[in-house]
């Protein structure tokens, strides 16, 4: 489920980028140069359609992101993070006894001096 939502998010992002690139902030853009769209709907209606498409894709992206946050797979067998941290603190709080240092034998040449 999470993988399917992630794929949909990527598709919506790509479509949103393409639709935004078609627009011109001053109302022209690539949409105003499309001859077929100008004859059928006119320039004003084409830009209105692209604006509505942009808003629709943006809302779809937000909804898909929220759905993905709920669909994130959870590992029920994983230990609680707070419990693991507490165990590490408890283990570090009890220092191990220092190891006894072995006695070093005196060198034969050192005792003569």
What pLDDT does 48 receive?
83
Q: Is residue 82 a part of any domain in this protein? A: no
Domain, as residue range, for 31: 2-72
Give a yes or no: residue 17 inside a domain. Answer: yes
Q: How is the chain classified by DSSP, letter by letter? A: -HHHHHHHHHHHHHHHHHHHHH--TTS-SGGGG-HHHHHHT-HHHHHHHHHHHHHHHHHHHHHHHHHHHHH----TTSPPHHHHHHHHHHHHHSPPPPPPPPPPPPPTTTTT-
Lowest mean pLDDT among 17-21, 34-38, 109-113: 34-38
Residue pLDDT, tens place only, 3-30: 899 999 999 999 999 998 888 776 555 5
Q: Within a domain: residue 19?
A: yes
Whole-model pTM: value is 0.52
Is 13 within the bounds of a domain?
yes
- Is 106 a domain residue? no
pLDDT tens string 46-102: 778 888 999 999 999 999 999 999 888 776 666 666 777 778 888 876 666 666 677
Q: Is the pLDDT of residue 35 over 50?
A: no
């Amino acid at each position: 489920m999470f993988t399917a939502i992630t794929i949909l998010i990527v598709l919506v992002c790509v479509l949103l980028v393409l639709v935004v690139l078609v627009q011109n902030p001053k109302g022209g853009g690539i949409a105003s140069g499309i001859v077929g769209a100008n004859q059928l709907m006119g320039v004003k209606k084409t830009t209105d359609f692209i604006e509505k498409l942009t808003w629709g894709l943006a809302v779809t992206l937000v909804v898909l992101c929220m759905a993905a946050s709920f669909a994130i797979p959870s590992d029920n067998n994983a230990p609680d993070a707070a419990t693991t941290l507490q165990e590490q603190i408890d283990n570090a709080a009890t220092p191990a006894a220092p190891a006894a240092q072995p006695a070093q034998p005196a060198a034969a040449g050192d005792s003569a001096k």
